[in-house]
A and B are shown apart, each in its own frame.
Chain A
Amino acid sequence: MNSPIFQEEEDNFKRAHIERSLSQLHATKILLEKLSSSTDLNHILHATIEALRASFSSQCVSYLFNDPGNEGISLCYVYTTTPLRNDYFPTMLEEMRTFIHNLPQDLDGRQAIETLLSQRHPLFEVVEGAVNDETGQLPKLSHFIPFIFNEQLHGIVCVGFTSEVPLSKEIKDNIDTIVSCAALNFSRMHSLIEIENKKSLEVAQLEAEFISVASHQLRTPLTTIIWSLEMLLSGDVGELTPEQKETVQTLFDNSKKLTTLVNDLLNTSRLGSGRLRVDPKPIKIVPFIEEAVAQVREFAERAQCQIEINTPDQESIPEIPLDETLIAQSIHNLLTNAIRYSPDEGGKIVVSLEKQDDQCVITVADDGIGVPLDQQDNLFTKFFRADNARTKETEGTGLGLHLVKMIADLAGGSVWVDSPKSDGKGSAFHLSLPWTGMQSKEGEVDLAK
């Protein structure tokens, strides 16, 4: 039978053991709760590190992660409770990255670590030489746990302690448990993500194909309809009575609206998908604006609107690299809006260009119905239409200005409205385009193809 003193020591030892196990269990439980709903790898690793810290009060806990989609290892997150010398982490990470990148992929985690240890990789020199500025202590990466899923090493969780005391087998086992737990959970999530990615890729491809076919196929018959109606209207195939002409004019106007609608819907879908191809080339903006105005001149005349262009000479303005289709679409949308929402008895529209230091600002100002102040914030959101706009023009889609905004964003510029404008009437829409213009961008889809 043990003496009372030994009994007390044994009890204390057991109690401490139980307490550690409980805290360990608690940390694992919290970790699992956090992980169960997460498919975000960063979040999972972060939670793992937090769990390790909670359990072992380590001074420095960090991890490295091998991103399989990114060839080799990449850092997701580094966490340390005590500040380390600034130049310590980049060096260590770079070396770790190279080292892990060069490991055979079929090596399991433990073998990887053994290789790392047996080679006395320079990493260890770096780690041991890293000085904690505040305490002067040497943090040591004393524990490496492979982060394995799908039977492959995807990274190494590095646990560093400032303590000189070697870690007990028990603590090492506990760290292993937490990390294995996270790795296992991630493995499950990873399979789910793979399935989801595959699905969304298929959907995206189908969508791109549909848009490409639909846009070209819709626009071609629309062109035939519009041109045929135009020939009817101009008397090329025989004179029409005034009543007939009026009917054909309605057909013509609505076919035009349909074209705009088709273009807007397809363009929004393309821009929104983020898979749009951008192909900028330097353009002379003044003739470009003049051409855009010429395109809508007839529409304006029918609505009894006058359009005045007020721009400086092109010679004084640098060329801007822009995707012609995109920028033409923006200016076209601003112009057609100005015409549509001008007073019924006609109005004046002024298109101007202001040269600023870092950008040029194109302004389309009208005498129209204006935008109520409380609705201006939402004006550029998808499908939004101001109340007074709905009353005046029932056919609008609420996509035109949204498109202008998306295109402006793409050019690093912006779009905004002054309503009423400085003379107390109508609205002035401003589109700013930095001189740097648009960046070329590869993508699977084109605008308005």
Chain B
Amino acid sequence: MTVIIIDDDPSISRLMEAKLNKEGIEARAFQSSEEGLKELEKGGYALLLLDLLMPGMTGWDVLTAIREKNIPVKTIVISNLSTGEDRNKALDLGATEYVVKSDIDLSKLVEKVRGYLSN
């Protein structure tokens, strides 16, 4: 597995997973951030696509946990929150990039993911 997706919205997470798989990129989606984080801790993931507003553990909590546990993974935050404040907060917590969900096409997202994986 190379890409892990954490988004509580089942249709969104399944769409991302399906598209990436179609494009030949291994991806696995989790709708619970707690479960997703457990999986991340096992290692083997190069990239995380992370939603922010989730019940229980939020995306910011996940970013904090990644930092605390020193998990070597790059994170693209992909959320429908799009204020400067939300963006800055996520980047400060260690996110590599911030993408506004409704503003990006799925194909553009794939391109981005590919870019990260090739580096």
Binding site for B on A (CB under 8 A): 216, 219-220, 222-224, 226-228, 230-231, 234, 236, 259, 263, 277-281, 295, 298, 323-326, 446-449
B80 close to A324 (CB less than 8 A): no
Q: Which of B16, B80, B85 meets A220, CB within 8 Å?
A: B80
Complex: chain A residue closest to B23, CB-CB: A236
A231 close to B15 (CB less than 8 A): yes
Please measure, in the bound complex, the distance between the C-alpha atom of A236 and the C-alpha atom of B17, giving whole angstroms: 12
Binding site for A on B (CB under 8 A): 9, 11-12, 15-16, 18-19, 22, 53, 80-88, 100-107
Chain B residues with CB under 8 Å of A234's CB are 107
B83 close to A236 (CB less than 8 A): no
B83 close to A227 (CB less than 8 A): no
B15 close to A228 (CB less than 8 A): yes
A295 close to B15 (CB less than 8 A): no
Please measure, in the bound complex, the distance between the C-alpha atom of A295 and the C-alpha atom of B102, giving whole angstroms: 12
A449 close to B84 (CB less than 8 A): no
Please measure, in the bound complex, the distance between the C-alpha atom of A323 and the C-alpha atom of B12, giving whole angstroms: 27
Chain B residues with CB under 8 Å of A326's CB are 84
A446 close to B83 (CB less than 8 A): yes
Complex: chain B residue closest to A235, CB-CB: B22
Chain B residues with CB under 8 Å of A281's CB are 84, 88
Please measure, in the bound complex, the distance between the C-alpha atom of A220 and the C-alpha atom of B101, giving whole angstroms: 8
Please measure, in the bound complex, the distance between the C-alpha atom of A179 and the C-alpha atom of B100, giving whole angstroms: 59
B82 close to A447 (CB less than 8 A): yes
Chain A residues with CB under 8 Å of B81's CB are 216, 446, 449
Q: Which of A219, A220, A226, A277 meets B83, CB within 8 Å?
A: A277
Assuming the contacts A219-B80, A224-B11, A325-B82, asked whether A230 and B102 have C-beta atoms less than 8 A apart, the reply is no
Chain A residues with CB under 8 Å of B84's CB are 278-281, 323-326
A322 to chain B, nearest CB (A): 8
B103 close to A227 (CB less than 8 A): no
Assuming the contacts A216-B53, A259-B102, A447-B82, asked whether A224 and B12 have C-beta atoms less than 8 A apart, the reply is yes
B12 close to A448 (CB less than 8 A): no
Please measure, in the bound complex, the distance between the C-alpha atom of A280 and the C-alpha atom of B84, giving whole angstroms: 7
B102 close to A236 (CB less than 8 A): no
Complex: chain B residue closest to A322, CB-CB: B84
Assuming the contacts A281-B84, A324-B87, A448-B83, asked whether A220 and B107 have C-beta atoms less than 8 A apart, the reply is no
B83 to chain A, nearest CB (A): 4
Complex: chain B residue closest to A332, CB-CB: B103
A295 close to B103 (CB less than 8 A): yes
Chain A residues with CB under 8 Å of B106's CB are 227, 230-231
A224 close to B105 (CB less than 8 A): no
Chain B residues with CB under 8 Å of A223's CB are 12, 80, 101-102
A447 close to B83 (CB less than 8 A): yes
Chain A residues with CB under 8 Å of B53's CB are 216
Complex: chain B residue closest to A259, CB-CB: B102
B15 close to A449 (CB less than 8 A): no
B88 close to A227 (CB less than 8 A): no
A325 close to B83 (CB less than 8 A): yes
B53 to chain A, nearest CB (A): 7
Please measure, in the bound complex, the distance between the C-alpha atom of A76 and the C-alpha atom of B103, giving whole angstroms: 49
